[in-house]
Amino acid sequence: MDRRDFLTLAAGTAVATALAPALVRAQTSAFEAQTVQGTVMPTLGKITGTSLPSNGPAENGVRYRPPFRFGMGGTQIGNIFAPISDAQAQATLDAAWDGGVRLFDTSPYYGHGLSEHRLGTFLRTKPRDQYLVSTKVGRVFHPSRDLLAPDFWAEKLNFSYEYAYTAEGARRSVEDSLQRMGLSSIDIVYIHDLGPDNVELPQPWTRSYETARTGAMVELERMRNEGLIKAWGFGINRPEAAVLAATGDGPTPDIVLLACQYSIIDHEEAHTKTFPALAAKGITVTVGTPLNDGFLGGRNRYHFSDKLPAGVVEKRAQLAEVAKRNGIDIRTAALQFAGAPSIVSAIVPGSRVPAQVEANIQSMKVSIPPAFWEELRERKLILPDAPVPS
């Protein structure tokens, strides 16, 4: 039941009308406790690490590898699904920074500029050479005079957008992001939501890709050569555009953000097909949503939907059971698994409250018994050759 259901229930009868103020207050509090505060799974296991993992210099043949292996995704501070206050967003970012996080991923799309505004406000007092920011292009935003239709950005800023994978659109988007965040440069820029899963595109995705190949991709190369950005790639929920860029004509991406594609519960396609195609061209990967949009952290939502695929609840239960027997929690296993492949440069789980980001940071410092990974392989819960943390 969501908040609108609560309000309808409260106003449904004469009795409910009389009790409506108290009823709405109580049920609104319950709603906010579930959606705004955020759930936090305790971190189990022996913490042996003293800092977050980092990367050394990029190896020969690797196009770009950021120094930080663990970051924070910006969808939550963009009010995805439920609003949070500016104060809560800043407190969550404070917790990330205090815990050693120095890589922050955002997008103009997240809250229609809200995530970038909040991140920029937070970073304004931080030394620019101590952190990395990634954002995205593909949409250009304009002030809207009309009230925008509801979607999964709660209380978003009143800006509408149009898709723009052209050179001009990419340049405009980067310049707008620089102004929202108050920065003079951006470290990584991803071409956003370009793939067959994006049914909102005004034309077939392959045509949009061709526009990007001769437009946004060329312009991002130019921006990198100018020093305005350090690297570029794709930020996508399906691999097709990244694989096409790696194997076809046109500029070659440096790094790709793959969301909803590599996790402990779903990794076969990425491991066997996507990763090899990208690695052949020296392209590295940032793993987005390593907890399957919170599913591996205890939420009954999977890849931005409450429609759970067949078998995932049962598989999660099996993973949790093996984890418990080995003295760890499933979130810790999931985060470390997502960061284990050599092609992966970073993972960027999102966080809604300080306790979530603090728990994620703790998970990266836990020593996981080798027997845990051996049992997952024996029970065929992970692929036999899937990389695991050493």
Q: Which residues of 29-40 are buried (b: 16+ CB within 10 A; e: fewer)?
A: eebeeebbebeb
Domain boundaries, the chain: 1-35, 40-378
CA 128 to chain centre: 22
Count of other CB atoms within 10 angstroms of residue 211: 19
**Helix (H) or strand (E) run with residue 212 in it:** helix 205-214
Question: What would the two tokens of residue 199 be?
Answer: 């049914």
Residues making up the chain, counted from first to last: 390
pLDDT tens profile 327-384: 999 999 999 999 999 999 999 999 999 999 999 999 999 999 999 999 999 999 999 9
CA 300 to chain centre: 17
Least Cα distance to 180 among 105, 116, 110, 103 occurs for 116
In angstroms, what CA-CA distances link 42 with 29, 253, 261, 295? 23, 38, 25, 15
Count of other CB atoms within 10 angstroms of residue 304: 16
Positions of the chain with pLDDT lower than 50, given as ranges:
1-36
Least Cα distance to 71 among 180, 181, 188 occurs for 188
Read off the amino acid at residue 82.
Answer: A
In angstroms, what CA-CA distances link 8 with 19, 149, 175? 13, 20, 44
pLDDT of residue 183: 98
pLDDT of residue 22: 36
Q: How many CA atoms lie within 13 A of 383 on its CB side?
A: 14
The answer to whether the beta carbons of residues 256 and 234 sit under 8 Å apart is: yes
pLDDT of residue 38: 65
The answer to whether the beta carbons of residues 229 and 176 sit under 8 Å apart is: no
Task: Could you list the beta-strand ranges (E) of the chain.
Answer: 46-47, 72-73, 103-105, 132-137, 139-143, 159-163, 186-192, 229-236, 255-259, 284-288, 344-348, 366-367
Rg (Cα) of the chain, in Å, rounded?
21
pLDDT of residue 306: 81
pLDDT of residue 147: 82
State the Cα–Cα distance between residues 265 and 24, nearest whole angstrom.
38
Count of other CB atoms within 10 angstroms of residue 92: 26
pLDDT of residue 37: 57
Q: 134 has which bridge partners?
A: 105, 188
State the Cα–Cα distance between residues 58 and 284, nearest whole angstrom.
10
The answer to whether the beta carbons of residues 319 and 361 sit under 8 Å apart is: no
CATH number listed for the domain at residues 40-378:
3.20.20.100
Supply the pTM of this predicted model: 0.89
The answer to whether the beta carbons of residues 98 and 51 sit under 8 Å apart is: no
The helix/strand/coil state of 287 is strand
Q: 346 has which bridge partners?
A: 286
Count of other CB atoms within 10 angstroms of residue 111: 27
The answer to whether the beta carbons of residues 331 and 338 sit under 8 Å apart is: no
Rounded to 5 degrees, φ, ψ at 286 are: -105, 130
pLDDT of residue 296: 87
Q: How open is the CA angle 372-375-381, to the nearest 5 degrees?
A: 105
Read off the amino acid at residue 378.
Answer: E
CA 293 to chain centre: 8
**DSSP letter string over 344-361?**
EEEEE-B-SSHHHHHHHH
Least Cα distance to 110 among 135, 146, 75 occurs for 75
pLDDT of residue 145: 86
